[in-house]
Every structure is written in C-alpha cells, then in structure tokens.
C-alpha cells in the first residue's frame, strides 16, 4: 500500500481498482458524524480528480448524510432548518456584522 501526505491528513492508495475514488476512504455509519466525514472525504477526492460532476454528487451525498444525522439525533429538525440558519450566517458575513 502506498502512502501519500496531503497536509495534516495521511491517505493510503490501495492496489485494488476503486471505481470512483482514487484513495481509500473509511466507511461511516449512516446517521452518525462519521458518514458526513466519509462524504466530505469523497468530495475532497472528487476535487483532487478535477471531476466537477462527481463533486456535485458528493455534495448531494453530504446533504443526505446530514438529513440522516438529523433524523437520528434531532428528529424534530429537517435539513431546511439548517439551511435557514446557514442563510442567516451568510447574511451576517455579507453585511459585515460577522467576519
């Protein structure tokens, strides 16, 4: 197994053929933070590959992982609620009240 340094993270290139990702990415557990991390690592790999379509798919997968996390840990909330808060934060950055 070949090791590659990408800043503070170590990744391992495997000898077997991976259909999409060029790095070994640990599988997360649906409904847990580990699944969100898995999808973010897959997004990073898609970006390293300069594959914008794959990156968009991974963004979608991140949304699904967040929805599953909310369903398990905060069942009264939906991803829409996160988007509302995100828009408030975005607005605060845009108007300069938050930097």
Predicted confidence band at 29 (pLDDT cuts at 50, 70, 90)? very high
Determine, yes or no, domain membership for 7.
Answer: no
Determine, yes or no, domain membership for 99.
Answer: no
Classify residue 20 by its DSSP letter.
S
Mean pLDDT of all residues belonging to the chain: 85
Q: Is the pLDDT of residue 16 over 50?
A: no
What would the pLDDT profile of 43-79 be if each residue is shown by its tens digit? 999 999 999 999 999 999 999 999 999 999 999 999 9
Instruction: Answer for the pair 66, 79: CB distance below 8 angstroms, yes or no.
Output: yes
Determine, yes or no, domain membership for 74.
Answer: yes
Q: Is the pLDDT of residue 39 over 50?
A: yes
Domain that holds residue 66: 27-94
Predicted confidence band at 21 (pLDDT cuts at 50, 70, 90)? confident
Query: What is the Cα–Cα distance from 85 to 8, expressed in whole angstroms?
Result: 30
More confident residue, 70 or 5: 70
Determine, yes or no, domain membership for 31.
Answer: yes
Q: What is the number of domains present in the chain?
A: 1
pLDDT at 1: 41
């Amino acid at each position: 197994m070949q090791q590659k340094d990408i800043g503070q993270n170590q990744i391992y290139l495997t000898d077997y053929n991976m259909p999409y990702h060029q790095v070994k990415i640990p599988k997360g557990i649906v409904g847990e933070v580990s699944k969100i991390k898995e999808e973010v690592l897959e997004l990073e790999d898609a970006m390293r590959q300069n594959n914008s379509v794959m990156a968009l798919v991974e963004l979608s997968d991140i949304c699904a992982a967040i929805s599953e996390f909310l369903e398990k840990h905060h069942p009264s909330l939906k991803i829409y609620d996160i988007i509302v808060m995100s828009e408030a934060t975005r607005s605060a950055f845009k108007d300069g009240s938050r930097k």
